[in-house]
């Protein structure tokens, strides 16, 4: 991999904007299918470690991990009302902008990361396959399933890493007894993008895993280059065809034009439509159909007798990590349950109350919502954000059907909590602020036909714009409740293969 800038101004076959899981999947598939292609990947954020795209949980030094998370939180400047602010939720993210300083209706917790690896450096690594109506109906099952399998390969997905975790079997049994799930909808270990080595070491998959050999040090004649702290300001076009990109080096301020017949914009579900808008590519559906996954959460503690029995079992075995279980989505119950065993309580406990790892259970139910055209991210070309790009404003509201699903999720979490043990506090399961999921979808949605309700076709190429592809969670057109990364990487696999064929 070449991370130097000596090739500024040269022509490339493909430019990839964004270094998250989907952008990395494009780079990897292009390398596998057309290794002769010259590919440039640009990322507005910085490298977090010597190995590009490493998941921050793999940084064993707490100081290094904290520094990496801070570096991902954008160009924070308290003097500018357009500046982002660190989010109150997951470390390594920043809110779109401070409350009250710009139009921001309906999604107060909308956040993003800015770093090499994107959200792939900070995510939970949950990779469930979509089920029932979460699947994209106009992609035949064989095509979609093959792409999902490829995505699992790129992300190193397994359901076995924590299958023997303390209390995990008891957690799943209790949930099965309560919800009576069978077949593909049965309670099961969560598929995770993680590698467990023979010595028990756990490595969480960042985009370094997706990039594979492209994340290795550069070699002579390397055809892949990654530039960090490089903002793509616009995609250049001529008569509906991509000609290249305009890049700004954020360290020096220098602006460079780079020629390429194909550009993949994989800048996340908010910044991908922003870049298309800034480039004058503005189909009707751009930014519309924005879809969040409302998240209902709670936490419980396993009964003392279960914990005592589990401690004895754990002491006799080799398991050292807490488990994650999955309650799959169904059309009858349009929610997705992520059941995470925790090593510590998320709430303060008495000083002498020591939590046995894995005995506190975090319950997070994601809800599917209706896809509504009016839910959208808008852009103002007369006002600039912290990067000098058209400022965003989000309009987002829940429908009465969405509110009903949320109430059903609260009931399900209550049932799950009672089946598992004792709630940590007296508060019933509650809904997090809109945007907390970080699972934004639909803003550059895929469609079967160019009918004004989608931005790209089944190959992820933007309608009417030759050589321009979009990638990431924003491409997913269906209403989903499951974690979206696996699906977006699968769509990137299909898009990358189509792109490789188109310019060979």
Residues known to be catalytic: 439
Helix runs in 327-420, H state only: 400-420
Best CA proximity match to 193, nearest among 359, 291, 58, 328:
58
The rounded radius of gyration (Å) of the Cα atoms in the chain is 22
Contact 234, 278 (CB under 8 A): yes
The CA distance from 301 to 279, in Å, is 52
CA distance 130 to 485: 10
Distance, CA of 177 to chain centre: 32
How far apart CA 123 and CA 181 sit, in angstroms, is 27
Q: CA–CA separation, 180 vs 291, rounded Å?
A: 30
- Do residues 168 and 187 touch, judged by C-beta distance below 8 A? no
| C-alpha 104, offset from chain centre | 22
Residue whose pair of structure tokens reads 């010259």 in the numeric block: 38
Query: Residue 302, CB half-sphere, CA atoms under 13 Å: how many?
Result: 30
C-alpha to C-alpha distance for 299 and 429, rounded to whole angstroms: 8
Rounded CA gap, 137 and 331, in Å? 14
Helix or strand (DSSP H, E) at 150? helix 141-155
Distance between CA atoms of 492 and 504, rounded to whole angstroms? 18
> How are beta strands 295-301 and 360-367 bridged, if at all?
antiparallel
Nearest to 27 by CA among 503, 504, 495: 495
* Whole-number Cα distances in Å, 364 to 106, 296, 331, 333, 409: 21, 6, 18, 15, 9
d(CA 377, CA 393): 6
Q: b vs e for 263-285, b when ≥16 Cβ sit within 10 Å of the residue's Cβ?
A: bbbbbbbbbbbbbbbbbebebeb
- Characterize 192-214 residue by residue with b for buried, 16 or more Cβ atoms within 10 angstroms of its Cβ, and e for exposed: bbbeeeeeeeebbbbbbbbbbeb
Q: Where are the alpha helices (DSSP H) in 380-484?
A: 400-420
């Amino acid at each position: 991999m070449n991370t130097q800038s000596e090739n500024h101004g040269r022509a490339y076959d493909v430019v990839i904007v964004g270094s998250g899981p989907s952008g990395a999947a494009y780079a990897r598939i292009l390398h596998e299918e057309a290794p002769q292609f010259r590919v440039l990947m640009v990322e507005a954020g910085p490298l977090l470690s010597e190995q590009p795209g490493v998941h921050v949980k793999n940084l064993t030094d707490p100081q290094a991990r904290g520094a990496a998370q801070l570096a991902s939180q954008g160009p924070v400047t308290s003097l500018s009302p357009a500046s982002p602010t660190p989010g109150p939720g997951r470390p390594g993210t920043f809110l779109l902008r401070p409350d009250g300083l710009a139009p921001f209706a309906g999604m107060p917790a909308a956040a993003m990361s800015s770093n090499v690896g994107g959200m792939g450096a900070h995510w939970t690594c949950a990779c469930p396959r979509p089920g029932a109506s979460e699947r994209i109906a106009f992609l035949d099952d064989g095509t979609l399933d093959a792409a999902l399998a490829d995505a699992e390969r790129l992300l190193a997905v397994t359901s076995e890493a924590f299958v023997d975790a303390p209390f995990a079997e008891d957690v799943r049994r209790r949930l099965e007894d309560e919800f009576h799930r069978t077949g593909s909808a049965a309670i099961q270990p969560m598929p995770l993008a993680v590698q467990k080595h023979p010595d028990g070491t756990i490595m969480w998959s960042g985009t370094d895993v997706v990039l594979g050999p492209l994340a290795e040090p550069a070699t002579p004649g390397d055809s892949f280059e990654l530039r960090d702290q490089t903002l793509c300001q616009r995609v250049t076009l001529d008569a509906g065809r991509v000609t290249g990109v305009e890049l700004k080096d954020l360290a020096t301020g220098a602006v460079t034009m780079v020629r390429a017949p194909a550009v993949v914009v994989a800048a996340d579900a908010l910044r991908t439509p922003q870049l298309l808008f800034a480039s004058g590519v503005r189909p009707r559906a751009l930014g519309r159909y924005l879809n969040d996954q409302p998240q209902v959460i709670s936490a419980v503690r396993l009964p003392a007798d279960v914990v005592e029995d589990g401690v004895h079992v754990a002491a006799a075995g080799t398991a050292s990590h807490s488990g994650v279980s999955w309650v799959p989505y169904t059309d009858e119950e349009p929610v997705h349950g992520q059941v995470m065993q925790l090593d510590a309580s998320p709430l303060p406990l008495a000083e002498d109350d020591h939590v046995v790892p894995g005995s506190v259970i975090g319950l997070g139910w994601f809800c599917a919502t209706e896809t509504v055209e009016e839910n959208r991210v808008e852009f103002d070309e007369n006002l600039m954000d912290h990067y000098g790009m058209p400022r965003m404003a989000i309009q987002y509201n829940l429908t009465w059907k969405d509110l009903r699903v949320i109430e059903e999720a609260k009931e399900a979490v209550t049932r799950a909590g009672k089946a598992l043990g004792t709630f940590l506090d007296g508060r019933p399961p509650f809904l997090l602020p809109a945007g907390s999921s970080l699972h934004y979808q639909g803003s550059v949605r895929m469609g079967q036909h160019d009918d004004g309700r989608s931005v790209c076709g089944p190959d992820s190429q933007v309608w009417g714009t030759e050589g321009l592809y979009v990638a990431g969670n924003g491409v997913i057109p269906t209403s989903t409740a499951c974690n979206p990364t696996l699906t977006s990487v699968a769509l990137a696999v299909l898009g990358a293969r189509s792109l490789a064929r188109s310019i060979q």
